[in-house]
Amino acid sequence: MLTLFLVALASATLLPGGSEVWLARLWCTGEPALLLWAVATLGNSLGSLVNVALGRYARHFQGRRWFPVSRQGLERAERWYLRFGEWSLLASWAPVVGDPLTVLAGVLRLPWWRAILLITLAKAARYALVLWFAQAWLAPLCR
């Protein structure tokens, strides 16, 4: 269970990783689905909130030569985010775009309570879907 939490947390940060396989694997071993869902949701949500915090702090380094995003790139990302708004965090579960969305929410100083709510909703829905898939499609392979 701790491994699932750590994998879910790490996979929500900018580090590569995939917690869905761990979740399905643990479900196949007979772990309770509700507990797995809660642990994965908590770990992945906290990992995304690390990204939000990094985004809030990263703004202090804007303009430095080594800063990973150009001024124009940051302005383009801000325009995109402002166009779609904070609701875009409901896509924080998605590969490739999810992690940058959470960092951008931090850069743009989205209030913490909104970030927590939207990110947790997105992650909870994702893991519920993964568990549904495991129960619907993987059950014959597990037992």
- Give the pLDDT score at 14: 57
Which of 126, 127, 100, 125 lies closest to 13 in space, CA to CA? Answer: 100
- Give the pLDDT score at 126: 93
Domain that holds residue 133: 2-142
C-alpha to C-alpha distance for 142 and 131, rounded to whole angstroms: 13
Number of domains the chain is built from: 1
**What tens-digit pLDDT sequence spans the chain (143 residues)?**
888 888 888 777 655 567 888 898 899 999 999 999 999 999 999 999 999 998 898 877 777 777 777 778 778 878 877 888 899 999 998 887 888 889 889 988 899 999 999 999 999 999 999 999 998 888 888 86
Token pair 């590969």 is at which residue?
A: 95
Q: How far is CA 12 from CA 29, 95, 143, in A?
A: 24, 9, 30
- Give the pLDDT score at 107: 87
- Give the pLDDT score at 85: 85
- Give the pLDDT score at 17: 65
Q: How far apart are the first and last CA of the chain?
A: 20
Residue 29, φ and ψ in degrees, nearest 5: -80, -5
H helices within the chain, ranges in order? 2-12, 19-28, 33-58, 71-84, 98-107, 112-133, 139-142
